[in-house]
Amino acid sequence: MLEDRTILITGATGQVAFPIARELARNNRVLALGRFQKEEDRARIEGVGAEAVVADLVTGNFSSVPTKLDAVLHFAVARSSQPDFDGDLAMNAEGVGLLMAHCKDARAFLHCSTAGVYQAAEGEPRTEGDPLGDHHRVMMPTYSLAKIAAEAVVRFAARHWKLPTTIARLGVPYGDEGGWPWYHLMMMKSGVPIPVHPDGPNRFPLFHEDDYLRSIEGLLEMASVPATLVNWAGSEDTCIEEWCAYLGELTGLEPKLTAGDQTLAPLPLDVSKLEARVGPSQVSWREGLRRMVEARNPELLAQGEGAS
């Protein structure tokens, strides 16, 4: 991991960025940018050795943010469940532009985008050059379009300020902080049906936090002008059907899958570009799911094969 750097992280209290902030703060000066309206968020960040820096991406008030930075890791995101295109574009697209303008002298900028910017293609893995689309519309009406807009702003800003940049399209992150498979586990616990798309198997690339942590330095080394674009996900092929069945084996809970088109279509990713730079992921999805349950719901393991 990186050492002796000054690193700004946005969205540092979130599921994906918090483990990154925690690990990088061991050997670096980590500045966690946020509004910190909840005192528990500030305490959590400061508890792992990072510094809470109050700022607002929408207003662009970065007076408390230093400009001498080794790296910026941008994970903050808005995704409204009810359509608020003005608000989400202001946060996701305008916000990152204002941030890059302030941090234009940084040595590298990492923008966390999403695989949700792609147009699904009957379960075929998407490469970085494949067509974009409104993939998440059925669940988060503004998300895909706002993230595509954000990518466009990032590409412009990287060229305009000659700021070396990587745009990483994230798959399905999970780990001790939770993630999509953990929500499925909670649905299984409550007996709630888990929606799956009828065009199965519902392939999505799980990405354990250990692996995305391990790749951060490589992503920053890939930063360039124009911006580098890369899929950011795990190497193993799996699907909702498989990981829910395995969670059932671990816990004794029964997954109840229900097919319908009001959920995300399968969206596997081609990660050959990522693997060429940082190597394949190292945590198998089965190992990662077991560790997730051990960390978050160890009491459930006693009910299934996880007890053995």
HSE-CB of 135 using CA atoms within 13 angstroms: 24
User: What's the pLDDT at 83?
Assistant: 83
Give yes or no for a contact between 225 and 268, defined as CB atoms under 8 angstroms apart: no
Residue 190 dihedral angles phi and psi, to the nearest 5°: -90, 0
Residue 260: inside a domain: no
User: What's the pLDDT at 308?
Assistant: 52
Residue 262: inside a domain: no
Q: How many domains does the chain have?
A: 1
What is the edge-to-edge ordering of all strands in the sheet holding 228-232?
51-54, 29-34, 6-10, 71-74, 108-114, 165-170, 228-232
Q: For residue 125, is pLDDT > 80?
A: yes
Q: What is the largest CA-CA distance in the chain?
A: 58
Q: Which domain holds residue 217?
A: 6-178+206-236+268-282
Residue 295: inside a domain: no
- Please give the Cα distance from 26 to 102 (Å, whole number): 26
198-204-206-211 Cα dihedral, nearest 10 degrees: 180
pLDDT, one tens digit per residue, over 28-78 is: 999 999 999 999 999 999 999 999 999 999 999 999 999 999 999 999 998
Lowest-confidence pick of 25-29, 33-37, 245-249 = 33-37
pLDDT, one tens digit per residue, over 198-220 is: 999 999 999 999 999 999 999 99
Residue 120: inside a domain: yes
Q: For residue 233, is pLDDT > 90?
A: yes
- In angstroms, the Cα distances linking 263 to 183, 225, 260 are 14, 36, 7
Q: For residue 140, is pLDDT > 90?
A: no
Nearest to residue 167, comparing CAs of 258, 214, 100?
Answer: 100
Across the chain, mean pLDDT equals 95
β partners of residue 229: 167
- In angstroms, the Cα distances linking 298 to 99, 129, 174 are 40, 42, 16
User: What's the pLDDT at 279?
Assistant: 96
- Please give the Cα distance from 264 to 282 (Å, whole number): 27
Residue 200: inside a domain: no
CATH number of the domain that 102 lies in? 3.40.50.720
Give yes or no for a contact between 62 and 98, defined as CB atoms under 8 angstroms apart: yes
Residue 225: inside a domain: yes
Model confidence at 305, pLDDT cuts 50, 70, 90, reads low
Residue 227: inside a domain: yes
Residues counted in the chain: 308
Residue 108: inside a domain: yes
Residue 175 dihedral angles phi and psi, to the nearest 5°: 155, -150
The residue written with tokens 């230093």 in the block is 66
Query: What are the structure tokens assigned to 243, written together?
Result: 């990981």
